[in-house]
Amino acid sequence: VVATVGTTSTTSVDPVGPISAICRREDIWLHVDAAYAGAAALVPEYRWILRDAAAADSVVINPHKWLFTPFDLSALFCRRMDMLRQAFALTPEYLKTPEDAEVRNLMDTGIQLGRRFRALKLWMVLRHFGASGLRARLAEHMRLARLFAGWVDASTGFELCAPVPFSVVCFRARESDGFNATLLDRLNDSGEVFLSHTRVGGRFTLRLAVGHIRTTEAHVTLAWTLLQRVAAELTSPT
């Protein structure tokens, strides 16, 4: 069973606690996918998002999504490494080597036999920013998302399409799907901002994701100003 903390589309959070209780009762492996939002738990006010994940058998967090680490890097935490090895182990004679307490052989923990030193990138990020530096940047990203969401919520021409628990805002103009698709194209063609889209309740929805390490309030303000200007141009008679 997979419970998600911060879904890709809208960053919603599954009820991990009740799901984990069912998994324990039925002896089912529980995996918590916190690939995007797990990093938010570094911020004290957001530690709740991984509190129930302590009961999971495995948890994944992707530092390349929101911990400023170059692609690609996933951090997997597994309670039962022996079962993980049983699932992936395939050791012909020529790959058998003596166990070494000082070196951990990862060839039986995934589908790859060899792999590059991905962890080095994360180690450098942690050493450079420290826990306090990472917390400050993550907290600022979530503040900027809430700020943008507040502007959307207070406007008459736009509406929020989902709650904003982290740093992604799902919203749309109060117009047709075609209008919103054209709006997105115009925004991205400007070269000043780049937004993505999803569908929420079947409706074409814009996504503003705050995640770059250098994003400031000025950038979010620019995005909002540009959105209003382009929307006005699309609705004004030619």
Which phi-psi region, left, alpha or beta, contains residue 158 (left: φ > 0; alpha: ψ -120 to 50)?
Answer: beta
> Which long-range contacts (C-beta less than 8 Å, at least 24 apart) are formed by 220-229?
220/144, 220/147, 220/148, 222/192, 222/193, 223/148, 223/192, 223/193, 223/195, 224/148, 224/151, 226/187, 226/190, 226/192, 226/193, 227/158, 227/183, 227/187, 228/155, 228/157
Q: pLDDT per residue over 192-206, tens digit each?
A: 999 999 999 999 999
Going from N- to C-terminal start, the domains of the chain cover 2-122, 130-235
Q: pLDDT per residue over 207-225, tens digit each?
A: 999 999 999 999 999 999 9
Task: Judge whether residue 149 has pLDDT over 80.
Answer: yes
- 25: tokens are 């009762």
Q: Residue ranges of the alpha helices (H) in 54-213? A: 63-66, 81-88, 119-154, 177-189
Residue 100 has what pLDDT?
66
Of 8, 17, 68, residue with least CA distance to 39: 68
Residue 91 has what pLDDT?
76
Q: Residue 140 — very low, low, confident or very high, per pLDDT cuts 50/70/90?
A: very high
Q: pLDDT per residue over 72-97, tens digit each?
A: 999 999 998 888 888 887 777 777 77
Residue 238 has what pLDDT?
59
2-122: which CATH architecture?
Answer: 3-Layer(aba) Sandwich (3.40)
Lowest mean pLDDT among 100-104, 179-183, 203-207: 100-104
- 41: tokens are 């738990």
Q: How far apart are CA 10 and CA 164, in angstroms?
A: 8
CATH class of the structural domain 130-235: alpha beta
